[in-house]
Structure 1
């Protein structure tokens, strides 16, 4: 199971761990429309998606206002990037590290 942890404040209630429990896991601030709810400034209603294909996980930006990042680089809208243990994932200013 993939579970990122915030890099800046691990125990912060504002940035909970995300446990990816579905093959298509939506992340954003619209609580009734996403699987991973992030209540943080700069997060779009439906910000991004983490998807599972076979044994790999991928990160996709879903036209977010403030960007989705992988290892410091901003993803293009609908760009799908493979995730690996140790990668740094960002949703606007919220940062996570991918755990294996």
Structure 2
């Protein structure tokens, strides 16, 4: 466990030794924010892949997002029903669409 501004500092060396690595944990914002609802703490996933190109990273990200959506659909139906009722009524269809559809890709130029 490391406490730094970014896990990426350590992940880069781990990736060289282990291949694909990731971390999941809290990130804290140090800057002052104007909006009253700005989060001071958030959780994120950082990924490092050794010897990968942009297509490899894009495929990994797409697969991971699809996996997460499918996992939520299979393991959290009561939460989805609650959230659909209270917040987003088409949540189930949206998650299913993301889990089963191919992502569109655009190039920078």
TM-score calculated relative to the size of structure 1: 0.19
TM-score calculated relative to the size of structure 2: 0.19
Is the radius of gyration larger for structure 1 or structure 2?
2
Structure (1/2) with the larger strand percentage: 1
Structure (1/2) with the larger helix percentage: 2
Tell me which of the two structures has the higher relative contact order, counting C-alpha pairs closer than 8 angstroms and 6 or more residues apart: 1
